[in-house]
Amino acid sequence: MSVTGQVLRWTGLAVVGATVVLAVVLASRFGTDPGLVDSPLLGEPAPEFALAGLDGSEGVALSQLRGEVVVLNFFASWCLECREEHDDLVAASESFSDRDVTFVQIGYQEDPAESFAYLEEAGRSAATLYLADPGSRTAIAYGVFGIPETFFIDTEGTVVGKIIGEANALILGATIDAIIAGERPGQQITGDTRQQPDP
């Protein structure tokens, strides 16, 4: 057979081999969700913010909370999962209030007045700080892809945990317990997040 013929033969077989390899690779991707990304903030110092309260009242800067474990949750009234996890956040905040753990909830992509009104209806924890985020700067700094997302910052100001999706009291508490014990729980995915409000 001519040289060309042999080259063609080996090229054909090479394509066959490459196809099989690629196919196995693609097949292994089936179980995973292509939309999920790992937060680059884990293990890094938490981005600083200084925000006012939802009703315009005096808020807080993150640096003022140094020394406490900070649970940072992004929410909005238009987010169904946020509504579902609301009671758990309130309960956990109350429960851990005397353990040097501070809950901070930041309104995301919503008029602060509307978030405030929602909290009037849904209830709030006296121990939680409810803050407004104009221009979504804090959400951008924390790389929020959708809500609800909850970040966990240890006493030294490092982001050590993140929950993507709806949280519940058990997972919140277990994560906080772990952080108090000095561990770094990392990122957990509990479910879907919402990205857009309904116009």
Site string for other proteins, 179-198 (x = CB under 8 A): -x-------xxxx---xxxx
β-pair partners for 189: 164
Q: Which of 52, 60, 91, 122 binds other proteins (CB under 8 A)?
A: 91
Question: What is the CB-side half-sphere exposure of residue 60 using CA atoms within 13 A?
Answer: 16
177 in contact with other proteins (CB under 8 A): yes
Rg (CA), the chain: 23
30 in contact with other proteins (CB under 8 A): yes
Alpha-carbon span 135 to 119, nearest angstrom? 21
Alpha-carbon span 111 to 86, nearest angstrom? 18
Residues 107-126 touching other proteins, rule: CB under 8 A, are 109
Positions of E strands within the chain: 50-51, 60-61, 69-75, 101-107, 129-131, 149-153, 159-164, 186-189
38 in contact with other proteins (CB under 8 A): yes
- Compare residues 59 and 85 and give the one whose CB is closer to other proteins: 85
- Compare residues 45 and 58 and give the one whose CB is closer to other proteins: 45
Q: Which of 55, 68, 87, 114 binds other proteins (CB under 8 A)?
A: 87
Residues 127-166 touching other proteins, rule: CB under 8 A, are 135-137, 139-146, 165-166
50 in contact with other proteins (CB under 8 A): no
Cβ 78 to other proteins shortest distance, Å: 9
- Among 23-31, 52-60, 67-75, 115-123, which window interacts with other proteins (CB under 8 A)? 23-31
Burial of 150 (0-12, 13-18, 19+ CB in 10 A): buried
- The torsion region of residue 157 among left (phi > 0), alpha (psi -120 to 50) and beta comes to left
- Compare residues 58 and 106 and give the one whose CB is closer to other proteins: 106
Which tokens go with 31? 């179980």
Q: Which of 23, 50, 61, 113 binds other proteins (CB under 8 A)?
A: 23
Q: Which of 124, 169, 186, 187 binds other proteins (CB under 8 A)?
A: 169
Which tokens go with 97? 């209030």
